[in-house]
Structure 1
Amino acid sequence: MDRDLISERIRGWIEGHKDESTTLASNLVRIPSVNHPPNGNEFAYQLFFANRLRSMGAIVSVYELDSVPGLREHPAFMSGRNYANRPNVHGMFPSKRGGRSLVFSGHADTVYEGVEPWQDGPFNGTIRDGKLFGRGSYDMKGGMAAALEAVRCLNECGIPLNGTVYIESVVDEEHGGANGTLAGRLMGINPDMAIIPEPTNLVPYSGHLGGGIWKAEFSGKSGIGFNGEVLLSALDATVSFAMLLQKFKRRLNEHVEPHALWSHTDRGIDVVVLSILSGDTKRELQEKLPADGKLNFWIEGYPGMTERQIIGMLQEFYESELPNFPILEKCRPQLTPLIRYLSGSEMGAGEQTDRFLDSVKRAGTIALEREPAPPQGAPFACDGFMFNLYSPTPALVLGPSGANAHAADEHMDLDSYTKLIRWYAEIMVDWCGVGGE
C-alpha cells in the first residue's frame, strides 16, 4: 500500500472520530480505579477495558496475578499486596505475516483523588477548554485510550499490519507497585518493542529515573522541664533531618555524574520531603515537647543506581553533617523503606532499539507535522524497568500532554491526545509493516 495514502487515511479517520475518541477517554476517567495499598479497586475498569478490546476484535485474556507461575518467587516481586479481584487484561491483535511486534502497556490504577477541592470532580470526566479533567486523565488513562483508538483506526481504515500488536492494562503500578507489569512479562507477553503511554508531553523518553520512599522515625524525651529534666524534642530532630535532606540533594548532584539521557536539563536528581508528623496530631493545643517524629521522603536515582548505594551515600553524608545538626547526634532516625525501590532503566542499546527509535521519529514527524524532540530521560520513575531489566523487550515511554498529575484538577490536553493517536498509528505502520511489505 502507498505510504502517503496510508497516512492520509489515518489523518482523515482521526479527524472524523475526534468526538468518539474523546468520549472513550472520558469514559475511562469516569470509572474510578484508585489504588489503596495493599488493595485496589481496578476491577470495574478492567472489565470495561477487556470488553472494549473484544469489541475491536482482539483475543482477550483476563487473569489474576495470583495465577501467574513464578510471580511471587521472582526477585523483582514486591510482597505485601492483595490481588483479589484485581485482574490484568491482555489483548492481542495477531498477524501471521512475520512483521515486528509491539505492545502498548499501561496501568489501570490511579492515585487517590486527594483532599484538595476539584472544580469538576475527580471522576466526572469533564471536557472543558480543550482539556479532559479527572483523576487518571493525564496519568495514564488518556494514553491508554490513545492506544485503543490507534488500533481501531488501523482496523477501520483497512490497514493490515504485518506484525502482532498487543495492548495490556495492568494493575498496581502506583505506590511502588509494578507487580502487574512483571506478571505480563511472566505470562509471555514479550514482543520486539514496548510503548508505555505515561504522560510525556509528546516527548519520547528512552529511559526513566528510579526512586524510593523511606520513613525516618525519631524518638525523643517528652515533657516540660519543671524539675530540670533533660528533654529531647523529636520534632526538632525531624525538622533538622528535613534540612539535612535538602543539603544532601545538593551533595548528590555534585558527586553523581549526570546521565547522558538527562543532559538536556539541569534538573538533576531530586530529594523531596513528602510529609512530617510529630506529637499528638489529634490535639490542636500541645503542652509539651513531642516525643516522636516521622518524616517520609523520596530520593531519585539514575539508571544503574541502587537503593543500597543511595542509602549508603545518605548515611555517610548524615555522619559528616552532625557538627551542623547536633540534635541528630542525640536523636538518630530509624529508616524504613515504604515502597520497593523503583529502579531507573533505559532501553537496551543495539540495532533493534535504533531501528525502533528511527520508526518513532519518522512516525512522529508525520503525526506532529514537525520533527519530534530527540529521545531523552523521563523526569519520573515508572514501571519501565520491568521491561528493560527483566524481559527481552525494550520499553519507550511516550504519552500525551497535560498537567496536575497526582493533584487536583488533573487534566489531559485533547489536541495532544489526537496527535498521540495519530503518532501511535503511524508507529505501528512503520514498525510492524503493512500489507505484506
Structure 2
Amino acid sequence: MNRSSLSQRIGQWIEDNKTASAELASRLVRIPSVNHPPHGNEYAYQQYFAECLHNLGAEVTVYELDTVPGLREHPAFMSSRQYANRPNVHGLFPGSGGGRSLVFSGHADTVYEGTEPWQDGPFEGAIRDGRLYGRGSYDMKGGMAAALEAGRCLNQLGIRLKGSVYIESVVDEEHGGANGTLAGRLMGVNPDMAVIPEPTNLVPYPAHLGGGIWKAEFSGKSGIGFNGEELISALDATVAFAMLLQKFAAKLNEQIKPHPLWSESNRALEVVVLSILSGDTKRELQEKLPADGKLNFWIEGYPGMTDRQILDMLWAYYESELPNYPILAKCRPRITPLIRYLDGSEMKAGELTDQFLGAVKRSGTTALEREPASLQGSPFACDGFMFNLHSPTPALILGPSGSNAHAADEYMDLDSYYKLIRWFAELMLDWCEAEGE
C-alpha cells in the first residue's frame, strides 16, 4: 500500500477515535502523580501506563531507578531524591528490521495542584469546550497520551514498521529532576532519535533553554534603636536584591548574544523573583526590624551556558550596583542552589538530525494540513539535556497546545491533541518506515 493510502487511513482512524483518545488523556489526568521532592507518588500512574503499553502489544519493562547500573555514579545524577515505589516504564515495539528507531519519552510526574481554586477539580480530567482540564493535562500527560494513541492507531490499522519504536514514561522530571530520564539512557533506550512531548503548541523545538533556582539569604541586625545603635533591616536588603535582579535581566541579555534558534522569537532570557520571606512570622505583631530575609529566584540560560557563568555575571553586576543599593553593601546575601542547574541543550548537528527534522516537517504537514511552524528554541527548560548531552540520541521537543501549565485550570486543547496523534503516527511511518512501502 502506498504512503498516500496509509495517510488517508490514519486520518480516518483519528476521526473515528476522537472520543476514545480524549478519554485516555482524561484517564491519565485522573491518576494523581504529584512530585513532592524528595519523594513522589507516580506509582499508580506508572502501573496504568505499563498496562496501556501491554495492551498495545509492547514488550514492557518496569524498573526501579535504584536497580539501574551506574546511575548513582553518573556525573549528571542528582543525589537528593528518593525513588522507592517510583518506577520508570518503557515499552518496545520491535521493528521487522531495516528501519530507523525512535523513542517518545515523557515524564509521569506533575507539580503540586496548588491552593488556587479550580473550576473543576485538578484531578477530574474534565472535558468541556474542546479542552481537557486538570493537573498534567498540558504538562505533559496529553503529549504522552498522543504517543500511546499513535501506537494504537498503527496497531489497529495493521501497519508494521521496519524500525523499532519505544514509548517511555519516566519519573521525577519536575523541580529540577531528570534522574528518571538519565536512567532510561543507562537502561539502553538509545535509539536513533527521540521526541519529548512537552507542551509546545505544535511548534517543533530542536533546542531548549536551561535554568536554575537559587536561594538568597540575608542576615541583618534586628531590634529597635533605643541607644542609637545601627540596625540593618534584612527585609530592606531582600527587597533591594529583588530590584537588582530585575535590572540584572537587562544586563544579562545585553552581555549574552541570542542563540540563533531564539533570535527571531524576541524572547529574552528571564530573571524571575519567585518568593520573598522576611521577619518572624510567629510573632503576634512584628514591631522590630526583620533579622532575616529569604528570596528565591530563577535565571535562564541558552545551550552552552553554565550555572557558574550565570552566578559570576550576577556577582559582578551586584558589585557594580552597590552605589545604587547601599544596604546591599552592609547586608550581603548567601546564595545557594535549590535545584540542580538544568543545562540548556540542542540536537546534535549532522546528516541524521537533518533527515529526522525533514521527516518531522513532512509528517507535520500531513497532520496539520499546512507546513509546521519553523524550528525554534523552546521558552522553557526540560530534561532534553539528558538525551542531547548524555546519550547518543538527539531529542526534539514537540507537544500539544493549551495553557495554564503549573497553574490552576491547566488545560490541553483537544483539537491540537488529535493533530498531534496524527503527527506522531505519520512520523513513525516516515522515520521508521512501513513494511511494504
TM-score (norm 1): 0.99
Aligned residue runs from structure 1 range 385-400, under 5 A: 385-400=385-400
Indicate the SS of the match to 2:73.
coil
Aligned partner of 2:217 in structure 1 is 217
Q: Is the 8 A contact 1:178 1:383 kept in 2?
A: yes
Please list the CA deviations of residues 367-404 of structure 1 after superposition, one character each: whole Å capped at 9, or x if unmatched.
00000011110000000000000000000000000000
Aligned partner of 2:253 in structure 1 is 253
Aligned partner of 1:74 in structure 2 is 74
Indicate the SS of the match to 2:285.
coil
Identity %: 78
Aligned partner of 1:153 in structure 2 is 153
Indicate the SS of the match to 1:428.
helix
Question: CA separation in 2, counterparts of 1:38 and 1:64?
Answer: 15
Q: Is the 8 A contact 2:114 2:408 kept in 1?
A: yes
Please list the CA deviations of residues 156-191 of structure 1 after superposition, one character each: whole Å capped at 9, or x if unmatched.
011111100000000000000000000000001000
Q: Is the 8 A contact 1:28 1:45 kept in 2?
A: yes
Question: CA separation in 1, counterparts of 2:284 and 2:25?
Answer: 43
Does 1:339 pair with 2:339? yes
Aligned residue runs from structure 1 range 349-364, under 5 A: 349-364=349-364
Q: Which runs of 5+ in 2 are unaligned?
A: none
Does 95-104 or 403-412 show the bigger shift? 95-104
Question: CA separation in 1, counterparts of 2:264 and 2:10?
Answer: 33
Please list the CA deviations of residues 261-286 of structure 1 after superposition, one character each: whole Å capped at 9, or x if unmatched.
00121111000000000012244631
Q: Is the 8 A contact 1:162 1:436 kept in 2?
A: no
Moved over 4 A (4+): none
Q: CA deviation at 1:436?
A: 4.7
Question: CA separation in 1, counterparts of 2:388 and 2:227?
Answer: 62
Question: CA separation in 1, counterparts of 2:67 and 2:397?
Answer: 28
Aligned length: 437
Q: CA deviation at 1:307?
A: 0.6
Aligned partner of 1:323 in structure 2 is 323
Aligned partner of 1:294 in structure 2 is 294
Aligned partner of 1:416 in structure 2 is 416
Aligned partner of 1:175 in structure 2 is 175
Aligned partner of 1:163 in structure 2 is 163
Amino acid paired to 1:121: G
Question: CA separation in 1, counterparts of 2:386 and 2:93?
Answer: 23
Aligned partner of 1:207 in structure 2 is 207
Q: CA deviation at 1:41?
A: 0.2
Indicate the SS of the match to 1:304.
coil
Please list the CA deviations of residues 107-135 of structure 1 after superposition, one character each: whole Å capped at 9, or x if unmatched.
00000001110010100000011000000
Amino acid paired to 2:336: T
Question: CA separation in 1, counterparts of 2:66 and 2:417?
Answer: 34
Aligned partner of 1:242 in structure 2 is 242
Please list the CA deviations of residues 198-245 of structure 1 after superposition, one character each: whole Å capped at 9, or x if unmatched.
000000000000000000000001111122121100000000000000
Aligned partner of 2:63 in structure 1 is 63
Question: CA separation in 2, counterparts of 1:283 and 1:224?
Answer: 15
Does 279-288 or 209-218 show the bigger shift? 279-288
Change (3 A) 1:189 1:276: same
Superposition RMSD in Å: 0.7
Amino acid paired to 1:430: D
Q: Which runs of 5+ in 1 are unaligned?
A: none
Does 1:132 pair with 2:132? yes
Question: CA separation in 2, counterparts of 1:260 and 1:274?
Answer: 28
Aligned partner of 1:184 in structure 2 is 184
Indicate the SS of the match to 2:123.
coil
Question: CA separation in 1, counterparts of 2:313 and 2:289?
Answer: 31
Question: CA separation in 2, counterparts of 1:57 and 1:401?
Answer: 29
Does 1:20 pair with 2:20? yes
Change (3 A) 1:202 1:284: farther
Question: CA separation in 1, counterparts of 2:276 and 2:363?
Answer: 47
Q: Is the 8 A contact 2:96 2:161 kept in 1?
A: no
Q: Is the 8 A contact 1:97 1:436 kept in 2?
A: no
